[in-house]
Amino acid sequence: MRTPHVVLGAGLLIAFVAGCASTPHPQQASAPQTARPDPQTGFTRIVSGAGDSVGAIPGSATAQYAYRFRQIEPGSDRFTYQNRDLSFYFRPSPSALYIQVENRQNKTVWIDWDRSTWVGTFGNEKIAHGPTRWTDRYSTQPATQILGLQRYTDYMFPISLLVDPSGSGEQLHRTFLPEDNTALQYVDRVFGVDLVFRVDNANVPYSFRFKVASAVPR
């Protein structure tokens, strides 16, 4: 099991909501690297990790197009959801889906990554997140422990987008949405995650869906 870094203080929560929070693995997005287009998506932009945008508009500084997203399941104009056990906040971007989870009870819960799935244009697949590397594509991913009354931040993307880092320990992956003039083709696309949490020795599913509402020139 992997224990996340604990995020404390209301100030950091406010920063996260503003789009300025960091992930538990402080990797910064690298400059785009030259790569052959993926035969299925045509994407050429590769990033290292998933450093969050510090601006109000998600995406890279060199993007030709910017996206606007909507959370459609459960519906929320603030990208949030909560119940008696957990509170969620999301920030979609072209390279990853950022997540903050707050454990609202004084008991430990786990995110079961092997039971969780990414749902996208090409169907369901495994989720890659902060610790996931190229060598983890076909192996078991340890569950993430969230202690009682603590918060955990991470990012997620389809595991098929991982790129071979040529022997380094870097996490290289393609963005799942383009930021050039092909972005207009992705308006109205729906993507999301089906997360499974272990709560009180039971598997509890949480489904979230997001829609590309628009793509506009920057």
Backbone phi and psi for residue 11, each to the nearest 5 degrees, phi listed first: -60, -40
The verdict on residue 130 lying in a domain is yes
On the 0-12 / 13-18 / 19+ scale of CB atoms within 10 A, 4 is: buried
Bridging pattern class, strands 97-103 and 86-92: antiparallel
The verdict on residue 1 lying in a domain is no
Helix (H) or strand (E) holding 11, with range, is helix 10-17
The single residue listed with the structure tokens 């932009």 is 45
Show the CA angle centred on residue 110, arms to residues 59 and 150, nearest 5°.
70
Domain containing 149: what range? 10-217
The verdict on residue 164 lying in a domain is yes
* Cα distance between residue 3 and residue 38, in whole Å: 34
Written as one string, the DSSP assignment of 179-207 is -SGGGGGGTT-EEEEEEEEEETTEEEEEE
The verdict on residue 3 lying in a domain is no
Structural domains of the chain, count: 1
Beta carbons within 8 Å of 75's beta carbon, 6+ residues apart: none
The verdict on residue 115 lying in a domain is yes
The verdict on residue 202 lying in a domain is yes
| pLDDT tens-place values along the chain, 218 residues long | 444 443 334 333 333 434 333 334 333 333 333 334 444 445 558 999 986 544 567 888 889 999 999 999 999 999 999 999 999 999 999 999 999 999 999 999 999 999 999 999 778 999 999 999 999 999 999 999 999 999 999 999 999 999 999 999 999 999 999 999 899 999 999 999 999 999 999 999 999 999 999 999 99
At position 2, the amino acid (one-letter code) is: R
pTM score of the predicted model: 0.80
